[in-house]
Structure 1
Amino acid sequence: MAGPRRDTRGIVDPASLFTRVRFRRRDPAPALRPYLEHYWLIDWDLSEPYCSHVVPHPSVNVVFERFAGQPDFGEVSGVGLELFTQKLEATGRVCGVQFRPGGFRPFAPGHPVSHWTGRRVPLSDAFPGAADGDTTRVLDEDTDDGRVAALDAFLLEYGPRPDGDAERAMDLVQRIREDREVRRVAAFAAGQGLSVRSLQRLFAAYVGVSPKWVLLRYRIHEALERAADGAETDWAGLAAELGYSDQAHLVRDFTATVGVPPSAYAG
């Protein structure tokens, strides 16, 4: 890979967020890159509260968090099914690990990834032996390089364990993400030599959500990215490009996920 992706897919109103926080993405150690999208680092010092909103990716995140007036804490955040909102105020720091869809289980093989879906749990639930000191070691680092090194050390202690099914799941999700011709789960499964049920079982075990959910979520991410780029969007054309039967279905899914219709968001 050439480095962390530079798009803002999933972030609602990224321009507003980036004027209030320092947001960076960094690559992990080479041994971790097949399993991770990137690390993400955020710091803020705000004179008034701000709420950030994210349409989650089909990814598990491990997050180390420091909010003013609260103890440091670390958590595993399973795939989020709904819009994620986080209130930011005063000063704070977050160091996060975004796994590739399918890439988390080699580090925490004790449960199918669907076990974590929609949940936020302490680090020790997934990583036996993890303690508050692990979180503090990451957050106390003064430099980005130091935080990245601390994240690398934490993850390398727990894996990754070789797992061919994880590799296949990551590959299949990447195909869905990149190929705009993938529009029906049944056709996609057949093209990969799998039954729909086998594909669903693989995704439950390694991604945490269904293939259909992944397909729909990447459609919304693309629509959100188009709406945020400042250019006038042909919503009917985009609906057809993304495989919707008509514009109304795109508007319905976008509104249900983001909370406002695309025309209002783009305006």
Structure 2
Amino acid sequence: MAPAPRVSVLPGDGLNFARFAPDAGLAGFVESYWTLDVERPPVELTALPDGLTDLIFVLGARPAGYAAGPLTRPETYRHERRVSLLGVSLQPGTAVAVLGIEAVSLPAGWTPLAELAGPAADELAARLAAAGPVQARLAILDTFLAARLRGAATDGRVSTALNTILDRSGDVAVERLAHESAASPRNLGRLFDAWVGINPKRFARIVRVQAALRVLMEEPGTDLTGLAARLGFADHAHLTREIRTLAGAPPSELARRLHRDDPAVSFKRDDGAGP
């Protein structure tokens, strides 16, 4: 079963954010596709750490592609002009096959995709911009990614550790994780740098906060003390501190925003969602 979509953004007024499920054959490599349309600038959008690497395409008269590594803290972006973006959120461990580099070498900021994938990146951005409805653009991305990912495989120790972290919603110690993955803690850290872009302890922290955010979105009136116990936080204060650090606001504020904006919805290809 695929993990639940991450809560990756806190949209502001004046923009439209939508998510789309990948083709079934790519579900193990692509967490979701997404679109962002700034309709009434200026607007602000806060991106949250989700443990994922993103490919981002600016559509319009001057199309361009970028890659961004995993965030380790919330970042707020201000858009002064109308813009349409199309993105791919890659599952942890996938960026190596798509970009041909170790994940740790990719900064969280936007790196021109052509620097990593060559002229094919500019050609892809142009094709996406010229395509019609969003479904046609997703089909182009399916084809591009399927070619890049043919025969791709993650180091087995990394796969085991990632699955353990996700299955336990981030509530696992690095020493136990390393033991179950047949790697020393230091070696597992090096492997995560190469394949995921962040160390296993930070990735687990992000996964646990993401689990809390999904509950806050789906159950905005949930008891925080009970939620802390359910997800393995030491107490209510520990939960609040971690959410503030990785999401930039207290749980009560995030519950209101997430319930209103519902940014983690993943749409099917044929439901007519999106721009």
**TM-score category (smaller protein):** 0.7 to 0.9
Residues 1-267 of structure 1 correspond to what in structure 2 (within 5 A)?
A: 7=5, 9-12=7-10, 20-21=15-16, 23-28=18-23, 30=25, 32-44=26-38, 46-66=39-59, 71-88=62-79, 91-109=82-100, 111-165=101-155, 168-180=157-169, 182-266=171-255
Cα deviations by residue, 1:53-108 (Å, 9 ceiling, x for unpaired): 221321111110137xx732210111112213333465432211111101111123
**1:108–1:47 distance in 2 versus 1, CA, 3 Å:** closer
Greater shift after overlay, 239-248 or 151-160? 151-160
The one of the two structures with greater contact order (alpha-carbon pairs below 8 A, sep at least 6) is 2
> Contact (CA 8 Å) 1:101, 1:169: kept in 2 or not?
no
In structure 2, list runs of 5 or more residues that go unmatched: 257-275
Alpha-carbon distance in 2 for matches of 1:178, 1:131: 34
Shift of 1:248: 1.4
Partners of 1:126 and 1:193 in 2: CA distance: 32
Change (3 A) 1:262 1:138: same
SS at match of 2:40: coil
Q: Is the 8 A contact 1:64 1:94 kept in 2?
A: yes
CA distance in 2, matches of 1:141, 1:214: 36
**Structure 1 residues not aligned, in runs of 5+:** none
Q: Distance in 1 between matches of 2:64 and 2:169?
A: 39
Q: Secondary structure at the match of 1:96?
A: strand
Q: Cα–Cα, structure 1 residues 62 and 160, in superposed 2: closer, same or farther, change >3 Å? A: farther
Larger CA deviation: 248-257 vs 149-158? 149-158
CA distance in 2: counterparts of 1:187 and 1:260, whole angstroms: 31
- Give, in whole Å, the separation in 2 of the partners of 1:208 and 1:22: 25
Report the Cα offset of residue 182 of structure 1: 3.7
TM-score (normalised: structure 1) = 0.83
Deviates more, 1:226-235 or 1:118-127: 226-235
Identity percentage over the alignment?
A: 27
